[in-house]
Amino acid sequence: MNTRTYAHVDELKGFSIKNCPSMPQPGSVLMCPPDYYDVSTPLNPYMAESVGKVDKARAREQWGSLRTVFERLGKPVRMLTPAVGLEDMVFVTSQTLLGLTARMEKVCLLGHMRHPSRRGEVAHFDKWFQENGYRTVRFQDPTLTFEGMSDSVWHPGKRLLWGGHGFRTDPEVYELVAGTFESPVILLKLVNERFYHLDTCFCPLGPEAVLIYPPAFSPESLEIILRMFPVVLAADEREAARMVCNSAIVDAHTAIVPKGVPNAVLHLKALGMDVLEADVSEFVKSGGSVSCLKMMYF
């Protein structure tokens, strides 16, 4: 069982994604209604430009439309009750990392958020996942930060994690991540503050294809991506800023993308994917998009 972490290209000599064990993909969706969503405290460059500019009625309409898209695709959607004072709780990917062990045990690794204003969200997710059959695991070192599935992305259908670090997550946490999920982790360093989470600039489209924004990565991490994926699509600057890499991929053939990314839509369709557009512009004001608004769970 491989539980190594890989941070450099040279370490990956002899490593093959094809040799990683298969892992089932989750089929249900958890969302949190935007009852208290707002941008009042800037935690990233998008938010700094959008304080006090959220149209809350429009945000609720956009969120509801996205929920309907998942339901029409046959994905059951359950709700996490939002909490007063936690305006970013609508973005449900940062608080936890979900996965299955080799024995198919459902595990939820709890995050430790970089910003104190978001740390109160984690307890609500802890309770929900315990009530829904997950074993929850917590970091013992309170000095380390980890932002869940915003920075940790499963390779489609494989027991392999891609681990982002540089802004919100400390690279040291991936030793525990690898051991908890009995999975290797390939680390990717983020260097552009506008792409502060891995899921803002890295979107696996299937086992062999990925959509990225290249300037978000260190040169060595970009080299790793180019070596490991046979097909690499590069988002342009304008569409990357619209959070195209924060799209959601459903069943490896349908991409739900933020509205207004025509170049990416053409490339995804050329790969044979079905593409659905969702207007999530009110949430892009906070630095999140389609993928941030849903958590796929087992």
Instruction: Note the pLDDT tens digit of each residue in 75-103.
Output: 999 999 999 999 999 999 999 999 999 99
Average pLDDT over residues 25-46: 96
Average pLDDT over residues 114-142: 97
**Does the structure show a pLDDT above 90 at 181?**
yes
**Does the structure show a pLDDT above 90 at 241?**
yes
Answer yes or no: is 188 within a domain: yes
Worst-scoring range by mean pLDDT, 46-50, 199-203, 284-288?
46-50
Torsion (CA) 127, 129, 130, 131 in degrees, nearest 10: 90
The tokens of 199 are what?
């899921």
Q: Give me the amino acid identity at 273.
A: M
The rounded distance, in Å, linking the Cα atoms of 198 and 188 is 8
Percent of residues, the chain, with pLDDT higher than 70:
100
**Does the structure show a pLDDT above 90 at 1?**
no
**Does the structure show a pLDDT above 90 at 118?**
yes
Q: Catalytic site residue 32? A: no
Beta strand 106-110 with 135-137: parallel, antiparallel or unpaired? parallel
- Domain span at residue 96 reads 5-202+217-233+292-297
- pLDDT, averaged across the chain: 97
Answer yes or no: is 115 within a domain: yes
pLDDT digits (tens, 9 = 90+) for 48-85: 999 999 999 999 999 999 999 999 999 999 999 999 99
Answer yes or no: is 251 within a domain: no
How many domains is the chain built from? 1
pLDDT of residue 281: 98
Say which of 197, 201, 203, 267 is annotated catalytic.
Answer: 197
Q: Catalytic site residue 292? A: yes
- What is the side-by-side order of every strand in the sheet holding 28-31? 77-79, 28-31, 295-297
Answer yes or no: is 258 within a domain: no
Read off the CATH number of the domain in which 63 is found. Answer: 3.75.10.10
Q: Give me the amino acid identity at 233.
A: L
The alpha-helical segments, DSSP class H, found in 106-169 are 121-131, 148-151
Answer yes or no: is 143 within a domain: yes
- What is the side-by-side order of every strand in the sheet holding 106-110? 96-100, 106-110, 135-137
Average pLDDT over residues 242-258: 97
pLDDT of residue 260: 97
pLDDT of residue 113: 97
Answer yes or no: is 265 within a domain: no
Say which of 32, 201, 245, 292 is annotated catalytic.
Answer: 292
**Does the structure show a pLDDT above 90 at 13?**
yes
pLDDT of residue 157: 96
Q: Which residues are bridge partners to 250 per DSSP?
A: 254
Answer yes or no: is 208 within a domain: no
Average pLDDT over residues 156-162: 98
Answer yes or no: is 177 within a domain: yes
